[in-house]
């Protein structure tokens, strides 16, 4: 059977990403991920809107433009070992995986982790390791990471994750409280252990919930 090819809605989305200044390599990576696979049946028609959508458990699949901006900020290459906190639907993971050597991704909801893993397997993405647990502890056995991406809003830059970042490594994380929009922050770890922080603008994410949280 012939390959079905990209969904027609993808063309409009790609145009919107381009108009917002997203660079070609990131556009190509996103064109290859069928976003409709990552949203529930009820939201199929909206899969290519540039919007966050519900994925159950009070969580959302990230907005495509924000996925693009975070992916771009990570400046990935095929030698990068990457940690993602907040697997959610697995959409951001599917965009990242082909751009890096290996991706480790943590999700606190077991049902979401299982669904994300099934989607990644269906897409024959084999360089992703998933774990169910509290991402605020990072993944110490696999540290250090060249890149870290947090896809839920933290109140402050998590020091544990800075510790697990390699020197010269990059972390992107939305910072702010859950009642408001947050600032997307890029953290570069310097040779002396210090960090260089760049503000990348407003974003809106569901909260990062530590182990003792109830969300």
Which residue, 125 or 152, has its beta carbon nearer to ligand SAH?
Answer: 152
The CB-of-183 to ligand SAH minimum distance in angstroms stands at 17
**From CA 196, how far away is CA 95, in angstroms rounded?**
26
Which is nearer to ligand SAH, 164 or 192 (by Cβ)?
164
Q: How far is the CB of 191 from ligand SAH (least distance, A)?
A: 29
Mask 57-76, x = binds ligand SAH (CB under 6 A)? --xxxx--------------
Q: Which residues contact 125 (CB under 8 A, 6 or more apart)?
A: 93, 94, 97, 98
Q: Which of 6-14, 29-37, 102-110, 190-198 is the region at the interface with ligand SAH (rule: CB under 6 A)? A: 102-110
146 closest CA partner among 170, 162, 172: 170
- Considering only residues 69, 71, 130, 151, which one is a binding residue for ligand SAH as defined by CB under 6 A? 151
Residue 188 neighbours by CB distance under 10 Å: 16
Give least dist CB 89 to ligand SAH, A. Answer: 3
Left (φ > 0), alpha (ψ -120 to 50) or beta: where does 31 sit? alpha
């Amino acid at each position: 059977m012939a390959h079905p090819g990209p969904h027609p809605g993808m063309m409009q989305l790609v145009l919107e990403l381009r108009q917002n200044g997203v660079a070609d390599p990131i556009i190509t990576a996103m064109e290859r991920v069928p976003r409709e696979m990552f949203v529930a049946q009820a939201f199929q028609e909206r899969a290519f809107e540039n919007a966050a959508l519900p994925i159950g458990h009070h969580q959302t699949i990230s907005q495509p433009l924000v996925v693009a901006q975070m992916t771009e900020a990570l400046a990935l290459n095929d030698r990068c070992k990457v940690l993602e906190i907040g697997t959610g639907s697995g959409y951001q993971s599917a965009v990242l995986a082909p751009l890096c050597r290996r991706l480790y991704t943590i999700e606190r909801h077991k049902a979401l982790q299982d669904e994300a893993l099934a989607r990644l397997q269906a897409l024959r993405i084999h360089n992703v390791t998933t774990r169910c647990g509290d991402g605020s502890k990072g993944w110490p056995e696999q540290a250090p990471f060249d890149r870290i991406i947090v896809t839920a809003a933290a109140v402050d830059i998590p020091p544990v994750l800075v510790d697990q970042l390699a020197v010269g490594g990059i972390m992107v994380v939305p910072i702010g409280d859950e009642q408001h929009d947050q600032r997307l922050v890029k953290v570069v770890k310097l040779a002396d252990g210090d960090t260089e922080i760049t503000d990348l603008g407003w974003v809106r994410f569901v909260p990062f919930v530590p182990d003792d949280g109830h969300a």
